[in-house]
Amino acid sequence: MSETKKGKQFFTVSRVFFLLIVIPLLLTSFLIANGIFQLGDTSKKGAAAVLDQKAQEEIMNRAVAVAENVASFLRECEKDTLIATILATDPKTYREFVLKNRQPLWGKKDGEIVKSLEPVYVEMALIDKDGKEVIKIADGEIVPAPGLANVSNPANTTYKSEDYFAKTRVLDKGDVYVSPVTGWYVNRADFEKGERFEGIIRFATPLFDKQGFTGLVTLALDVRHLTKFTDNIIPTKPGYVFEADSSTGEYAYMVDNRGLVISHPDDFHITGLYLDGTPVPPLTEETEKNGESRGEVLNFFLLGYMDPALPEIAQDAAEGNAGSKKYTFSGHTKFVAYAPIPYYSTTYPEPAGFGWIGMGLDVDKFNEAALEASEKIEKEAHAWMRTIILILVIAVFILFLISALLSKGITRSIEAEVPDDAVPHYYDDED
């Protein structure tokens, strides 16, 4: 076989092999690259919406779970109050009861964050039918007789305005009075110096004998054991923290059935009392405009001037509904998922119950994070495109070499099988 024909045959076989292998490879690579490009583009456009929807669902689920946990905790406190009615009425038994009821709290000691078991109740008392304290335990110690007071007069109570005696004595046997969160107000200046809100929730139940009402038993819950349910969590992150930071825009808070904030990263928003026992009034449009308010207590029912959605949230929760809304607060767009706390009693009837849990995030800051995520997805898509192109170029080069070798081998095989003199010679007419 002549060298010219051999070269043509080799080229023809090589080209056929090359096209049969490379064309499917190119088509497959194009489809993969196009799919990755479309995925990156779609992810960039939809990342914020998808992540936001996922975050809303997760925050809502967590708000409901925390609300259930708070309700369960309050029911346990109610049971403790009823158990106290059957204890031996002596100071040592009462003190032992208080000291044995401990739960963990996060705190600071010598500048370090520590977790310690602290008494759930800061006070326990037995009160006679006239309002005179008979036995009292305060901060784990027995109060001596000269320190006992007649609490039928609210001015003689711990916070100089508590009316739990009057409200408990009219209840039926087995009913438990549960007070609102009560404590001294912490203003912004003191909060920034490190002071934190300390208060109680008063649980009380009446006592009876055959002649009728004989007095009551009270337990004062350390409110830190309540606020830890919201103070130590970040809605979008698992686990616990020492204190949530409101400047991040992600935190949880608690609101009572009156719309007043009772737990918040910024304690100056929590309802509290002046030292004379009178309540610090909540912010209103008028007091904020005129600079008349001496505090920054928040009542959601009165915050319509900031955003109409705020009282709507409080009203919906008061009707026993869970939900989510966006609103504006201090110039920031917020998203909040809220869930009612399903604890009901004589003093907290349905549907409002004890109050509700709010879990929110700063929408603008969240969108920034979502945009960063979408840009990362786009960068990864482009990186994959570059990788595919590089692999394709290398693959085409390698396949060309392989097809050339295969074609050469096939050509040699044909030459070996078909000798040159076996090929007929055709003459032109001119020959």
96-132 pLDDT, tens digit each: 999 999 999 988 777 778 889 999 999 999 999 999 9
By residue range, what is the domain housing residue 113?
A: 49-372
Average pLDDT over residues 22-34: 63
pLDDT of residue 293: 57
Q: Could you tell me if 400 and 303 lie in one domain?
A: no
Residues 34 and 136 grouped into a single domain: no
Mean pLDDT of the 340-350 span = 96
CATH code of the domain in which 110 resides: 3.30.450.20
Collect all residues with Cβ–Cβ distance below 8 Å to 317 and sequence separation of at least 6: 255, 323, 338, 339, 340, 352, 355, 356
Tell me, yes or no, whether 331 lies in a domain: yes
Q: Do 164 and 276 have their domain in common?
A: yes
205, part of any domain: yes
pLDDT tens figures, 233-257: 999 888 888 889 988 889 999 999 9
Report DSSP letters for 100-160, one per residue: H-EEEEEEEETTEEEEEEEESEEEEEEEETTSBEEEEEETTEEPPGGG--BTTSGGGSTTS
The answer to whether residue 358 is domain-embedded is yes
Residues 348 and 382 placed together within one structural domain of the fold: no
Same-domain check for residues 188 and 119:
yes
Separation in Å, CA 252 to CA 6, 126, 265, 387? 82, 36, 8, 45
Residue 269 lies in a domain: yes
**Do residue 242 and residue 179 come from a single domain?**
yes
What's the whole-model pTM score? 0.75
Q: Are residues 224 and 251 in the same domain?
A: yes
C-alpha distances (whole Å) from 304 to each of 284, 308, 313, 328, 352 are 9, 4, 10, 10, 20
The answer to whether residues 242 and 360 belong to one domain is yes
Share of the chain above pLDDT 70, in %: 73
Q: Which has more confidence, 394 or 85?
A: 85
Q: What is the pLDDT of residue 175?
A: 97
Look at residue 143 in the predicted model and tell me its pLDDT. Answer: 97
Work out the burial of residue 212: count CB atoms within 10 Å of its CB; fewer than 13 is exposed, 13-18 middle, 19 or more buried.
exposed
The least confident of 1-10, 114-123, 397-406, 408-417 is: 1-10
Q: Is residue 425 part of a domain?
A: no
Residues 161 and 274 in one domain: yes
Regarding whether 157 and 100 lie in a shared domain, the answer is yes
Average pLDDT over residues 379-404: 68
20 and 153 together in one domain: no
Of the ranges 183-197, 234-248, 282-296, 306-320, which one carries the lowest mean pLDDT score? Answer: 282-296
Kindly indicate the confidence band of residue 349, based on its pLDDT and cuts at 50, 70 and 90. Answer: very high
Residue 428 included in any domain: no
Coil, helix or strand at residue 162: coil
Q: How many domains does the chain have?
A: 2
88 secondary structure, DSSP code: -
Model pLDDT, residue 373: 56
Q: Residue 10: which pLDDT band, with cuts at 50, 70 and 90? A: very low
Q: Are residues 337 and 395 in the same domain?
A: no
Is the per-residue pLDDT at 371 higher than 70? no
pLDDT band at 20 (very low <50, low <70, confident <90, very high): low
Q: How far apart are the first and last CA of the chain?
A: 21
Is 426 inside a domain boundary? no
Q: Could you tell me which residue, 270 or 54, shows the higher pLDDT?
A: 270
